[in-house]
Structure 1
């Protein structure tokens, strides 16, 4: 229903007639839900636009963009710009620059908004045509930004923002794993269904088999018998961490205080840690120990290993990114339902009807199609929501460009960056800490309430 209402809001970009028609056809929905979906749609459309710039057929056309054709007029001799091999990456930088600036500005504007009675609520929930025109105009204008130090400087912003989003992503994956494990364990305990037990056991085994397979493949392709000691350390250390969190999750004292904790949750986190390990070492600048996906397929073809490409690693990262964004949006959309049921009772239909009637007056009969459910208080923190989307944009930028370092004088560093390697490896260690601490904290600090 929220998607239908958001489609109606999107129709408002085309004019009042289209808006009135769509609003008259769609069912009633909450303002918070439709707004969240609209911003998620905006982020997705911007991501698609950035992906399009990496299409092989567009590279020749993109070499005619202003920041390439005018580069010799603006760039000092100390900088180099490789529009022949990396123009798509540099275009992604500019598109994501505008999107992240937009969300950062929205985050600042929405600071300390408590309800829709605040005058700034109209900016959050409306003016969609202006927002889209602002983004499109900004993206076009960004192609006129001379390269100079823009690429290297924005890369560091992207790396910091990408790291911060990985931390948020880790938190969301932790929450999802906990919710999944708690839900399935509770239902199994209530029903003692053999099918539920088989599903629980099967998913756990599948995650561990995939994790173990990933570790083996990392040893095979990213290490050598007499070399690659750093890669060996990363893989071995993270393997030990996976074993530790699995053991901690089934400790008797942990089970006593958190009976829903178990191997399903730790298996999800182990799989994610293995993924972060692979993603990290695949950004290593040491080409002897990092063949990369294209290198594994193409053998020793250095050109194929270092060409600008939207490879399988980027696709996997984007799938995880999209899943995190979708999960967070669903949490926000369902949050009001849970709160309302707790406050009013799920069966009090009269209260719900009173809330729906006559809030916004969008329809001709005076009833609201997209009705305001945040007059008494916002369902989610608007400022942090936009801040998270800004970080998500920076993460997308770094993912699509394989954490590319602009103005590099060597073709061999096109798809590798030591800083990004450490960002992802450290993120895997942080992931372990964020999962383990809530399990052991009640045991260490017995006098505190962690409920």
Structure 2
């Protein structure tokens, strides 16, 4: 429903007639939801634009453009551009620079906004055409920034911001695991249906089977009998940590303070840690121990021939899933344990009621299609929301460039130690955060986590 309402808001970029038509066709939804999805869509479109600049054939296409300085069909003109800067790592850096700068600026503007009655509220929830035009214009202007030290300097900001977003992403994944288990265990307790019990067991069993299969494949393809000691350590150590975490989740003390804690959450976290382990060792600079995604199926000849590795694609899918989850998810008691109250939407008790003239664009009954549920107080921290999206943009930038030093040419994304350690440390942080969410109620029994 929120996505449909956001589509109606997007139609407002084309004029009031398109906006009125789309709003009349979609169901009512909360303004806090539709606005967040619109910003998620903006972030997704920026990511797609950055991905296009890494397309293998784009550089060859630009060599045929007459106004490019290095064009094969160059025509003398007053306007000449160095089209090499329009592709490769630096192109991604320039696009993400403008997008993250926009979100950082919005974060500063929205500090201490308490309700939609604040004069700054229209900037948050409206002016979509102006916002998109400003961002597009900024991205075009970013390509005129002199190269010099721009790439190397912005890379350090990207590494810091990307790592901070990884922490937020881990919080959202742990929160998702708790929320999933709370919902299914709650349904089982209310209905005592064997179907819900079978679903709990089946989902947990499936996640563990996939995780074990993944670990076996990692040993087969990413280790050798006498070499690859570091890969063996990462795989074995993370496997041991996952087993310990699963045991902790069913300990009597943990069950006493969290009756709904169990193997379903642990299986989700274990599966994600196995993915992070694979993503980490697949970025190992040791080519002997890293066959690459295509190398597993096509032999060593396919190693490092692609310009955008499959691990990054999966990482971006998980990234956008977390962003969309944070845009739609309503905070519950699990958000207190995982420290995600500022990220998720709070239920402020504002229900839709018909108000005459509330939305003049609605064509029937003057009912609001995208209605304001933040007249008393905001449903989420607007400033922190934009800060999270700014960090998400930096995470995208570093993921697309494989956490590697930028240059203006479209080189292949070679595996490197920086990317490997970021993923491995992320897996340890994920397990630490999940274990903390299990033992926190027992460590602080006087604190209200309900």
Same fold (TM over 0.5): yes
> For residues 188 and 65 of structure 1, do their structure 2 counterparts lie closer, same or farther at Cα, with a shift above 3 Å needed?
farther
CA distance in 1, matches of 2:241, 2:148: 43
The C-alpha deviation readout for 1:304-355, integer Å capped at 9, x for no partner, is 43345233212211221121111111115998794327xxxxxxxxx7425x
Secondary structure of the 2:353 match is helix
Range 195-204 or range 5-14, more displaced: 5-14
1:318 matched to 2:316: yes
> For residues 61 and 101 of structure 1, do their structure 2 counterparts lie closer, same or farther at Cα, with a shift above 3 Å needed?
farther
Secondary structure of the 1:323 match is helix
Secondary structure of the 1:199 match is helix
Following TM superposition, by how much is the alpha carbon of 1:410 offset from its aligned partner in structure 2, in angstroms? 13
Range 291-300 or range 212-221, more displaced: 291-300
Following TM superposition, by how much is the alpha carbon of 1:277 offset from its aligned partner in structure 2, in angstroms? 1.1
Counterpart in the other structure of 1:21: 21
The C-alpha deviation readout for 1:171-198, integer Å capped at 9, x for no partner, is 1111111111122122223323222222
Following TM superposition, by how much is the alpha carbon of 1:152 offset from its aligned partner in structure 2, in angstroms? 2.4
1:250 matched to 2:255: no
Counterpart in the other structure of 2:361: 362
Counterpart in the other structure of 1:56: 56
> For residues 333 and 35 of structure 1, do their structure 2 counterparts lie closer, same or farther at Cα, with a shift above 3 Å needed?
farther
1:114 matched to 2:114: yes
Counterpart in the other structure of 1:39: 39
Secondary structure of the 1:340 match is coil
> For residues 409 and 57 of structure 1, do their structure 2 counterparts lie closer, same or farther at Cα, with a shift above 3 Å needed?
closer
Alignment length (residue pairs):
426
Mapping of residues 180-195 of structure 1, within 5 Å: 180-195=180-195
CA distance in 1, matches of 2:444, 2:179: 24
The C-alpha deviation readout for 1:408-443, integer Å capped at 9, x for no partner, is 9997x8422322222221111111111111322333
Range 24-33 or range 434-443, more displaced: 24-33
Secondary structure of the 1:284 match is coil
Mapping of residues 134-145 of structure 1, within 5 Å: 134-145=134-145
The C-alpha deviation readout for 1:6-34, integer Å capped at 9, x for no partner, is 22222221223333333344444332222
Following TM superposition, by how much is the alpha carbon of 1:62 offset from its aligned partner in structure 2, in angstroms? 4.5
Instruction: Verify the 8 A CA contact 1:405 1:417 in the aligned structure 2.
Output: no
Instruction: Verify the 8 A CA contact 2:84 2:409 in the aligned structure 1.
Output: no
Range 320-329 or range 136-145, more displaced: 136-145
Counterpart in the other structure of 1:75: none
Counterpart in the other structure of 2:437: 438
Following TM superposition, by how much is the alpha carbon of 1:143 offset from its aligned partner in structure 2, in angstroms? 2.1
Instruction: Verify the 8 A CA contact 2:106 2:383 in the aligned structure 1.
Output: yes
CA distance in 2, matches of 1:179, 1:27: 26
Following TM superposition, by how much is the alpha carbon of 1:297 offset from its aligned partner in structure 2, in angstroms? 3.4
CA distance in 2, matches of 1:443, 1:27: 44
> For residues 102 and 228 of structure 1, do their structure 2 counterparts lie closer, same or farther at Cα, with a shift above 3 Å needed?
same
The C-alpha deviation readout for 1:76-120, integer Å capped at 9, x for no partner, is xxxxx9969x94333222222211111111111111111112111
CA distance in 2, matches of 1:293, 1:151: 28
Counterpart in the other structure of 2:423: 424
Following TM superposition, by how much is the alpha carbon of 1:269 offset from its aligned partner in structure 2, in angstroms? 0.3
Instruction: Verify the 8 A CA contact 2:352 2:371 in the aligned structure 1.
Output: no
**Structure 2 portions without partners, runs of 5+:** 71-81, 333-343
> For residues 437 and 82 of structure 1, do their structure 2 counterparts lie closer, same or farther at Cα, with a shift above 3 Å needed?
farther
Mapping of residues 375-414 of structure 1, within 5 Å: 375-407=375-407, 414=413
Range 10-19 or range 258-267, more displaced: 10-19
> For residues 62 and 97 of structure 1, do their structure 2 counterparts lie closer, same or farther at Cα, with a shift above 3 Å needed?
farther
Counterpart in the other structure of 1:309: 307
Secondary structure of the 1:353 match is coil
CA distance in 1, matches of 2:15, 2:89: 35
CA distance in 2, matches of 1:38, 1:443: 40
Range 42-51 or range 358-367, more displaced: 358-367
Q: RMSD of the TM alignment (CA)?
A: 3.0
More helix per residue: 1
Q: Which of the residues 326, 329, 338 maps onto 1:328? A: 326
| TM-score, L = length of structure 2 | 0.86
CA distance in 1, matches of 2:268, 2:137: 42
CA distance in 2, matches of 1:431, 1:210: 18
**Structure 1 portions without partners, runs of 5+:** 71-80, 342-350
CA distance in 1, matches of 2:440, 2:100: 36
Counterpart in the other structure of 1:95: 95
1:339 matched to 2:387: no
Instruction: Verify the 8 A CA contact 1:50 1:95 in the aligned structure 2.
Output: yes
> For residues 276 and 113 of structure 1, do their structure 2 counterparts lie closer, same or farther at Cα, with a shift above 3 Å needed?
same
Counterpart in the other structure of 2:283: 283
